[in-house]
Copies of this chain bind each other. A is one copy, B any other.
């Protein structure tokens, strides 16, 4: 773990990706419960297990004053009419924010709080999105052809809680209707009972 300053590249594809020491590859089989169209999902999985997104991250000490940063690459594609997307997560330490800088592609960030508030913001190159503390977030690639690439930065002690969104779903879905992305209610969404 470097205690001295260091550089990382963000242009893909780029040899400097080797600086990122945590490479996460998410395939459809790890997200099958998240998609509405189970038949389309199973049909895709019969042929192969497509990669939906990849994350390149730099490990740091998991302390509040350190920051994790890296690249999120959501590939283009759909499961039924629902776009490829990330798992969606709260931070384990709920009151930690995250900054996303869109570098390439077209997409949206779908967000919600545990009180049921929701928000969807469009990601385009040159935009920076501030996801405040307490907001779960998922990025969705709405392009048919291009990767959605974002640079993310968050406090290194934040942690990821994927389980809550896996169980609840997210309140809003982003689906394609007449070749355009549309936000619809998630029929399966429910706020988890907290004992």
Binding site for B on A (CB under 8 A): 2-11, 58, 60, 63-67, 69, 93, 95-99, 101, 109, 111, 117, 119, 121-122, 126-133, 135, 137, 151, 153-155, 158
Cα of A98 to Cα of B96 in the assembled complex, Å: 16
Report the minimal beta-carbon distance from A128 to chain B, rounded to whole angstroms: 5
Tell whether, in the assembled complex, residue B99 and residue A155 are in contact, meaning their CB atoms are under 8 Å apart. no
Tell whether, in the assembled complex, residue B66 and residue A4 are in contact, meaning their CB atoms are under 8 Å apart. no
A6's nearest neighbour on chain B, judged by CB, is B130
Tell whether, in the assembled complex, residue B66 and residue A8 are in contact, meaning their CB atoms are under 8 Å apart. no
- Residue among A98, A111, A153 facing the most chain B CB atoms (10 A cut-off): A153
Q: A95-B63, A95-B65, A96-B65 are in contact. Are A132 and B7 (CB under 8 A)?
A: no
